[in-house]
């Protein structure tokens, strides 16, 4: 009996010991799992911007408020005015930030990663692409740089149902492409206000991206094909003067698509007063006061463009003209642009057609914001709308062969872009249904 009882007790002890062993093994495994989970926690990845690893700093981002100065921002971030003055003086030759500081522009302050969080660098962004770095950690210095820019080639096709702007808008394409096609490329060959339903197009263009992620808009149009009233219109971009950076658009036969002069010096404007040698004004007792310019009404700040390539001969403020610019295009033609808010170009500067030379204002004798556009032919002011304006300079014989070779691969690619088959199929189905109903 005692032997049997001892055997039973021994078995019980073995069971208890087995449970304890299993329990400790389980706890050890759980602990191991916990340790392993902690071990796989990754360090934060480096984040670089403006050439700095942002993980090394306390980063403060904001935008310049109205009336806020560079000094005020630094003072609010624990930098005293004696040092602020020293920073401004030391860096103004590189970039006079106090002069060009603008409300609404973003800035970044990199502070030390400690309890004091003292500013070590200030980065100001005057636009999406450029930035100015002012370092004052050890020695004070400044430099100007640009974010990396990449260009992505894209294609788009469309069939006109009402207007090209609506067609492109429905595809989510920037309206800038509409402006480039209508104002820069086909302005003299296709009237975009009279497009026909069923006209179609295909375009090869490039989009610009800043830091590979920020969309910077449409960069340029490489080639286009427009079918208007069943007539084809090709356009290929080609640089004719690498020194002056002149780029034009030519058709498949190397004929320049533009004229020597733009129709107007501003976009999206209206003519408020035409060239009129017999104009009478009530303010002057209805006396005849000749108006030898064409007034284009536009909001203050609207960019004013040079209507043709040329050299600036005058850029000044004088009397009733206000701020104005005058450009000589060749021995025959000159143009003048009056009442600017601000001028952008200087005497002797070469400007290309479409370059911004100033902004619409109300300086001089003017009753409202507009640009008075004056046009000279052989030293005499004339009405530009009654002139048979010359075509743009044709491509030279030496360049023509190079151009035709240059466009071959682009034209092949353009010709092999298919129009939207689903829209064409829908139109064919509608036509079939109409024919069946008529029969």
How confident is the model at residue 279, as a pLDDT?
Answer: 62
Cα–Cα dist 21/182, whole Å: 84
Q: Do the domains 48-146 and 148-259+400-439 sit in the same CATH topology, yes or no? A: yes
User: What's the Cα-to-Cα distance from 108 to each of 62, 64, 119, 133, 235, rounded to whole Å?
Assistant: 7, 10, 10, 9, 43
Distance between CA atoms of 217 and 339, rounded to whole angstroms?
Answer: 31
Please calculate the CA angle 364-366-369 and round it to the nearest 5 degrees: 105
187 DSSP 8-state letter:
T
> 48-146 architecture in CATH?
Roll (3.10)
Q: How far apart are CA 22 and CA 405, in angstroms?
A: 82
For 270-383, CATH number out of 3.40.50.410, 3.20.20.70, 3.10.50.40, 2.70.70.10 equals 2.70.70.10
Name 105's Cβ contacts closer than 8 Å, sequence gap at least 6. 63, 64, 124, 125, 126
Q: In this structure, are strands 350-351 and 106-111 parallel, antiparallel, or unpaired?
A: unpaired
Closest by CA to 266, choosing from 329, 183, 192, is 183
Q: Could you tell me which of 89, 125, 294, 298 has the C-alpha nearest to residue 214?
A: 125
pLDDT at position 2 is: 54
Q: What is the pLDDT along the chain (439 residues), one digit of tens a residue?
A: 555 555 555 555 555 555 555 555 555 555 555 545 555 556 678 888 998 999 999 999 999 999 899 999 999 998 988 888 888 888 888 888 777 788 999 999 999 999 889 999 999 999 888 999 999 888 898 999 998 899 999 999 999 998 888 999 888 898 899 988 987 888 878 878 788 899 999 999 999 998 888 888 899 999 999 999 889 999 999 998 877 777 889 999 999 888 888 888 998 777 877 777 666 555 455 665 667 888 899 999 999 999 988 999 999 999 989 999 999 998 899 999 999 999 999 999 999 888 999 999 999 988 889 999 999 999 999 988 888 877 777 788 889 999 999 999 999 999 999 987 644 334 444 343 334 444 4
Neighbours of 280 (CB within 10 A): 11
Residue 434 is predicted with a pLDDT of 39
Q: Measure the CA–CA gap between 54 and 51, rounded to whole angstroms.
A: 9
DSSP string, 365-399: S-SSSEEEEEEEETTEEE-GGGS-PPBPPPPPHHH
Fold of the domain spanning 148-259+400-439:
Nuclear Transport Factor 2; Chain: A, (3.10.450)
| pTM score | 0.63
> So what's the pLDDT on residue 433?
37
For 170, the token pair is 């429905």
Q: Give the pLDDT score at 14.
A: 53
Query: Domain limits of the chain?
Result: 48-146, 148-259+400-439, 270-383
């Amino acid at each position: 009996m005692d032997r049997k009882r001892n055997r039973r007790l021994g078995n019980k002890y073995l069971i208890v010991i087995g449970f304890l062993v299993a329990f400790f093994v389980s706890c050890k495994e759980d602990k191991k799992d916990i340790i392993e989970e902690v071990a796989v926690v990754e360090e934060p990845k480096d984040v670089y911007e403006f050439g700095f690893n942002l993980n090394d700093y306390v980063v403060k981002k904001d935008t310049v408020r109205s009336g806020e100065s560079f000094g005020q921002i630094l003072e609010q971030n624990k930098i005293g005015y004696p040092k602020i003055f020293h920073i401004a003086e030391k860096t103004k030759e590189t970039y006079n930030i106090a002069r060009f500081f603008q409300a609404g522009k973003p800035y970044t302050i990199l502070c030390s990663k400690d309890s004091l969080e003292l500013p070590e660098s200030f980065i100001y962004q005057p636009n999406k692409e450029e930035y100015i770095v002012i370092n004052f950690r050890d020695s004070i210095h400044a430099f100007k740089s640009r974010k990396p820019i990449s260009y992505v080639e894209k294609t788009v096709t469309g069939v006109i149902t009402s207007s090209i702007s609506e067609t492109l808008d429905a595809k989510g394409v920037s309206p800038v492409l509409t402006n480039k096609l209508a104002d820069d490329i086909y302005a003299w060959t296709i009237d975009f206000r009279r497009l026909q339903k069923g006209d179609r197009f295909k375009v090869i263009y490039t989009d610009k991206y800043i830091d590979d992620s920020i969309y910077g808009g449409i960069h340029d149009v490489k080639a286009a094909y427009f079918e208007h009233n069943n007539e084809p219109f090709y356009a290929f971009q080609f640089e004719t003067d690498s020194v002056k950076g002149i780029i034009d658009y030519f058709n498949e036969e190397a004929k320049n698509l533009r004229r020597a002069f733009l129709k107007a010096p501003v976009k999206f404007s209206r003519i408020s007063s035409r060239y009129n040698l017999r104009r009478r004004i009530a303010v002057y007792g209805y006396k005849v006061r000749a108006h030898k310019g064409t007034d284009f009404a536009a909001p203050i700040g609207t960019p004013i463009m040079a209507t043709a390539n040329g050299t600036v001969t005058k850029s000044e403020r004088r009397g009733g003209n206000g701020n104005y610019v005058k450009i000589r295009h060749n021995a025959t033609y000159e143009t003048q642009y009056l009442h600017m808010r601000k001028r952008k170009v200087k005497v002797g500067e070469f400007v290309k057609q479409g370059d911004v030379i100033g902004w619409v204002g109300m300086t001089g004798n003017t009753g409202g914001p507009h640009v008075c556009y004056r046009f000279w032919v052989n030293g005499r002011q004339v009405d530009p709308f009654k002139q048979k304006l010359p075509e743009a300079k044709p491509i030279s014989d030496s360049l023509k062969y190079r151009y035709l070779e240059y466009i071959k691969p682009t034209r092949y690619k353009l010709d092999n872009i298919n129009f939207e088959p689903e829209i064409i199929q829908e139109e064919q189905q509608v036509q079939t249904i109409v024919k069946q109903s008529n029969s």
